[in-house]
Amino acid sequence: MVTGHVFIATSLDGFIAREDGSIDWLDMPGVEVEDHGFNEMMASVDGLIMGRGTYEKVLEFGAWPYNKPVIVLTKSLKASAIPKHLQDNVSFCSDEPEQLMQSLAGWKRAYIDGGSVIRSFLSAGLIEDMVLTRIPVLIGRGIPLFGPLLKDVRLLHIDTVAYPSGLVTSRYRVVAHE
C-alpha cells in the first residue's frame, strides 16, 4: 500500500497557522534562499492528500504550486467547485484515510498535508515519516499541527538540520503506536 509522508513547518509552539489561517509569521529573513528539502520531497511522491482548509489556503496563493495529482479530502465541496485550470490536477474525495490509501493503485508515496488530515492519518497508522521544521517564533494561538491521539506515537529520530535562518528541520520515522 502507498505510504504517507509529512513535510510541514510549525511555529516553535506547534502551530501551522494563526487562528484565522494566516501564515505571515513564516516569513523570515534568509528563509527564501535556503533549500529545506521541499523539492526533493515533492520529487519523491506520487501525489498529495490534503484537507479542505489547506487546499483553500493554497488556492489563495494564486499560482498552483504542485505538479503532481492532489486529492482533497472533503465531505462538503463538490467536484464542480474545482477551478477549470485545476481539473486535471485536483480531485475531491470523501473516503476514510485507509480506504483512500488502499484505492491509490500505482502510488508508492503520498505527501500528507494539513493539520487534521495529518492527525487522522497518524491515528490510522498510515504515516511512515515526518519532516518537521520549527520556525523560531512563538505565536501563542493558532491551528495546531498535532492533537489528541488514541495512543502514544513513538518516533525514531533520523536526522536534524539547523539552517542559517534559524529554521530547524528534524526527520522522524513513526515506529510504534503504544
Closest CA to 49 of 106, 100, 124: 100
The residue count for binding its own copies (CB under 8 A) is: 34
Please give the DSSP secondary-structure letter assigned to residue 65: -
CA-wise closest residue to 75 among 34, 35, 120: 120
**Quick check: 21 binds its own copies (CB under 8 A)?**
no
Q: Are 114 and 9 in contact (CB under 8 A)?
A: no
Q: Which amino acid is at 57?
A: K
Q: Which stretch binds its own copies (CB under 8 A): 36-44, 51-59, 75-83, 151-159?
A: 151-159
Query: Which residue type is seen at 21?
Result: G
Cβ-count burial of 40 within 10 angstroms (0-12 exposed, 13-18 middle, 19+ buried)? exposed
Nearer to its own copies, 79 or 138 (CB): 138
Burial of 113 per CB tally in 10 Å (0-12, 13-18, 19+): buried
Of positions 8, 42, 124, 155, contacts its own copies by CB under 8 A? 155
> Is 20 an interacting residue with respect to its own copies (CB under 8 A)?
no
Q: Of these, 1, 59, 79, 149, which contacts its own copies (CB under 8 A)?
A: 149
3-state secondary structure of 76: coil
Which range in 34-42, 69-77, 107-115, 162-170 contacts its own copies by CB under 8 A?
Answer: 162-170
Residue 122 binds its own copies (CB under 8 A): yes
Which residue of 12, 59, 79, 81 would you call a contact of its own copies, by CB under 8 A?
Answer: 12
CA distance 154 to 140: 26
Of these, 59, 79, 81, 162, which contacts its own copies (CB under 8 A)? 162
Q: Is 116 in the site for its own copies (CB under 8 A)?
A: no
Q: Which helix (H) or strand (E) covers residue 109, if one does?
A: strand 109-113
Query: Quick check: 141 binds its own copies (CB under 8 A)?
Result: yes
Please, what is the minimum distance in Å from the beta carbon of residue 65 to its own copies? 26
Binding interface with its own copies (CB under 8 A): 12-14, 25, 122, 132, 134, 136-141, 145-157, 159-160, 162, 166-168, 170, 172
